[in-house]
Amino acid sequence: MTGIERRVCLLAGVAMLQASAAFAQSADPPRPRFELGIGALWIGRQPLGTKAATETTGAGGSTALFNTSSDLASAAGIDGRIGVRVTRSVVAEAEASYLKPQLRITISGDVEGAAAVTATETVQQVTIGGGVLWYLTNRAWTRRFAPFVMAGGGYLRQLHDQATLVETGRFYQFGGGATYLLASSRHFHTKGIGARVDVRALIRSKGVAFDGGAKTSPAVGVSAFVRF
Amino acid sequence: MTINRALPFLLLILSCAASARATVLIPADLGELSRDALAIARGRVASVDAQWTEDRGTIETIVTLEVERYLKGRLGSTLRFRVPGGELGRFRSIVVGAPEFAVDQRVVVFLGARGPSVPYVLGLNQGVFRVSRAADNSGWFVTSPVLLPAAGVSARVVRGDPLRRALALRDFEQTVRTLAGGAK
Amino acid sequence: MKRPLSVIVVFALVLGQSSPALAYLKFGVSVRGQQVTLKWSQTPVRYFVSNTGVPGVSATDFQSAMGRAFATWQAVPTASISYQFAGVTSANPSRDDGASVLGFQNRPELDRVLASTSFLVDSATGALVESDIFFNSAFAWSVAAAGEPNRFDLESIALHEIGHFSGLGHSALGETELQSGGGRRVLSAEAVMFPIAFASGSIASRTLKADDIAGISDLYPDGDFNTSAGSVSGRVTRDGQPIFGAHVVAFNVATGLLVGGFALNAQGQFSIGGLSPGLHVLRVEPIDDAEVESFFDSSRTVDIDFRVTFLDRVVVVPKGGDSGEVALKVVRK
């Protein structure tokens, strides 16, 4: 091999190395096992039911004095999680969130013509739970873009205004999303930095509820994560 | 078992006792009261005197009214009527639903009577309307809520109805005289 | 026998001129300048029933109906009051004779009074000596299980009067209608202690409501009542000025229960106790459709110049505690 040929081979090799620098893992990528994420969570409106204030008639029936319709308004808050990769495609997570939705009770139909009014208060809502993510592609934690489906549940705690009344319950969630890996090389002891978006159906049982039934609302999470 | 009456003991109890009553009413509107009353009078309370009932079983009060105007009937320039309960000696009896009176109060009373006995107030507190001067001294008003009879069709009584306000005394009296048939 | 010193007893409908009472109205007695709640200090409370019947109701029927009505109050799980049937008597129920007697009495001069309860109070201590109830035999009565047309249900009226007998005043939880032919009738009521009876034939008032239960439990609480129930308190004002006599209703949004109270002092303060913990909506209205003296002492002028209003804030009633001061602002009619 001539000197020029050796220089060309050397330059080609360097170029190949440069082109795959961000994904040097493709040959021998880091294998993160843990993920720490924090971000924002938005939960959509949750209807809580209707209830009429009734009085008894002389025939033993009932008649409404006024009507109420209640809901928890949509709200955004913070959401954090810790994930452990169980297999190449399955991740177990522990998650917590904090929001302050407004409880609204719309009062209407007063028999004596009182103006309709919406009575409100702010509820402090905390959830603590866990779940499972199933990535739909192999070696998802090393791919730039990886969709997943998820399911989980946990404990729900709602603290009313003035912190004098607490209501607890459970939540369940089902949905899916995707992660986008922004950096995968070893940086500052990490093995990956990225962003995640997920969309869920959030089902609440008990907690603030007036008719005893489970309530479903949409939820969207956007977060940044770091993998170790 | 019968009650063992120990009269001295009972007198002791009664001497330091007070009593009060409460009722279930059949309500009347102003039209009924006006038609059923033997006499309707506006006046000033001159005296309030408690006494034992005729059978000495309990306490009643005899109210003396200096009549300013009769809206129905005529029972003299000074009118006496009875109400259950009262203050007698060391104790006072108040009836829930029965009107109370104080000297110098101005009232309109709807009265009934049974034979020659002292008249009584119709429907207890339903038959008494308090008269007060307006805060700005603009005149006299009937401050007790007035329920006018339904005009041909049944109508729910709505609390907070802006049309139901303290009536000027002259308007109240005109209404009563009309409902009573204009009798004097 | 030396008569004990006694003071003039002023029996008032409103408890506490300077502090708001837990509402649904209780009776109060002023003894030596202090307000004392009128209630039985010892239980079971003994009562006699008259040996006289009326057409449609025998003396035995009467005794049974009274027994059922007393049992209804006694069965309230959060109240500790109890009653004891002491026997049959020929005594007049309206006589102050040292014994609590229930019976029929012909009172045609009380032509719009179905029944009446009276109290005899020891002026030295404010203690109840006796309480009598008469049912006006000028009206037609019934004890039929399903009621009878054109006859008033004895058990329903007795339940109301025994509420008074036990120390409860009237409730304003009810709606009425002026009838086209004259007169007024009850459309609905959510308290047995509403002062106007349902039309004859109705048996709807044989069952206690939340307001009644809150009242009797407040008067005679059982061990858990004060730690399990909560209260809401506050003030009613108009243009910054206090409103006396406003009727405030607390509605539990989860249970649907209604309990009422009143602003009972010159500061417009109210306090409604015996509430199930949870979220409540508050409604305030004037008593401009009622004989106010069936609720309050006539010496006070009840302010009725305001509109029915809801509070625009959800009120949280804690278990065993109070909601904290609530400001209810109303506007003129």
- Of all residues in chain A, the one with the smallest CA distance to C199 is A58
Number of Cα atoms under 13 Å in the Cβ half of residue A46: 29
Give the position of tokens 């005149």: B139
Pairing of strands B140-142, B128-133: antiparallel
Chain A to chain C, count of Cβ pairs less than 8 Å apart? 117
Whether residue B72 is contained in a domain is answered as yes
- pLDDT of amino acid A3: 65
The verdict on a CB contact (< 8 Å) between C279 and A103 is yes
C80-93: per-residue pLDDT in tens? Answer: 999 999 999 998 88
In B, which residues are within 8 Å of A113 by CB distance?
158, 160
| Residue in the block written with tokens 């409902």 | B179
**Which DSSP string corresponds to chain B?**
------HHHHHHHHHTEEEEEEEEE----HHHHHHH-SEEEEEEEEEEEEEE-TTSSSEEEEEEEEEEEEEE----SEEEEEEE-EEETTEEEEETTS----TT-EEEEEEE-STTSPPEETTGGGGEEEEEE-TTSS-EEE-S---PPPSSS-EE--TT-TT--PEEHHHHHHHHHHHTTS--
pLDDT band, residue A118 (cuts 50/70/90): very high
User: Which chain A residue lies closest to B158 (C-alpha atoms)?
Assistant: A112
Q: Is residue B99 part of a domain?
A: yes
Interface residue A213 vs chain C (CB under 8 A)? no
Instruction: For residue B173, give both structure tokens.
Output: 């009296």
A residues 97-136 closer than 8 Å to B (CB): 111-114
Query: How close does chain A come to B162, measured CA to CA in Å?
Result: 11
Q: Which two tokens stand for residue C198?
A: 């349902």
Total domain count, chain C: 2
The answer as to whether C181 is a domain residue is yes
Residues C54 and C141 grouped into a single domain: yes
Share of chain C above pLDDT 90, in %: 65
CB-side neighbour CA atoms (13 Å) of B15: 12
- Mutation site for B-interface testing, chosen from A65, A66, A110, A112 by largest number of B Cβ within 10 Å: A112
Report if residue C7 sits inside a domain: no
Q: Point out the least confidently predicted range of A61-65, C7-11, C282-286.
A: C7-11
Confirm whether B13 is domain-assigned: no
Does residue B156 lie within any of the structural domains? no
**pTM, whole model, 2 decimals?**
0.84
Nearest-CA distance A76 → chain C (Å): 21
> CATH number, domain at C171?
3.40.390.10
Q: Does residue B1 fall inside a structural domain?
A: no
Together in a domain, C124 and C263: no
C77 burial class (0-12, 13-18, 19+ CB within 10 angstroms)? Answer: exposed
B44 within domain boundaries: yes
Answer with the residue of higher pLDDT: B158 or A142: B158
Q: Is B129 at the interface with chain C, CB within 8 A? A: no
- Whether residues C112 and B13 touch (CB distance < 8 A) is answered with no
Give the CATH number, domain containing residue B170: 2.40.50.120
In this model, does residue C13 exceed pLDDT 80?
no
Cβ distance A105 to C281 less than 8 Å, yes or no, reads yes
Whether C123 and C265 share a structural domain = no
**In contact, A45 and A103? CB cutoff 8 Å:** no
Check C91 against B3: CB less than 8 A apart: yes
* C residues 264..293 contacting A (CB < 8 A): 277-279, 281, 283, 285
- Name the least confident of A180-189, B168-177, C43-52: A180-189
| Count of domains observed in chain B | 1
Q: What is the dihedral of CA C147, C100, C82, C12, to 10 degrees?
A: 90
**Mean pLDDT across the stretch A70-78?**
96
Domain segments of chain A as ranges: 27-42+76-102+123-227
Least CA distance to C325: which residue of chain A?
A162
- Is residue C159 domain-resident? yes
Return the CATH class of domain A27-42+76-102+123-227. Answer: mainly beta
Q: Are residues C56 and C158 in the same domain?
A: yes
Q: Are residues C178 and C253 in the same domain?
A: no
Q: Is residue C219 within 8 Å of residue C167, measured between CB atoms?
A: yes
Contact B65, B41 (CB under 8 A): yes
Q: Locate A212 and state its tokens.
A: 């005893």
CB B158 to CB A112 under 8 A? Answer: yes
- A 66-125 residues inside an 8 A Cβ radius of C: 66, 68, 70, 103, 105, 107, 110-115, 117-121
B169 located within any domain: yes
Domain assignment present for residue B2? The answer is: no
Instruction: Estimate to the nearest angstrom the gap between the alpha carbon of C295 and the chain centroid.
Output: 9
Using one digit for the tens of pLDDT, what is the confidence trace for B107-146? Answer: 999 999 877 788 999 888 888 998 988 777 888 888 777 7
Question: How far is A11 from A16, CA to CA, in rounded Å?
Answer: 9
Q: Are residues C238 and C208 in the same domain?
A: no
| Average of per-residue pLDDT values in chain C | 86
Q: Is residue C261 part of a domain?
A: yes
- Whole-number Å distance between alpha carbons of C184 and C189: 14
A61 and chain B: CB distance < 8 Å anywhere? Answer: no
Residue of chain C minimizing CA distance to A55 = C190
- List of residues 6+ apart from B74 with CB closer than 8 A: B39, B184
| pLDDT above 50: residue C10 | no
Which domain does C237 fall in, by range?
A: 230-330
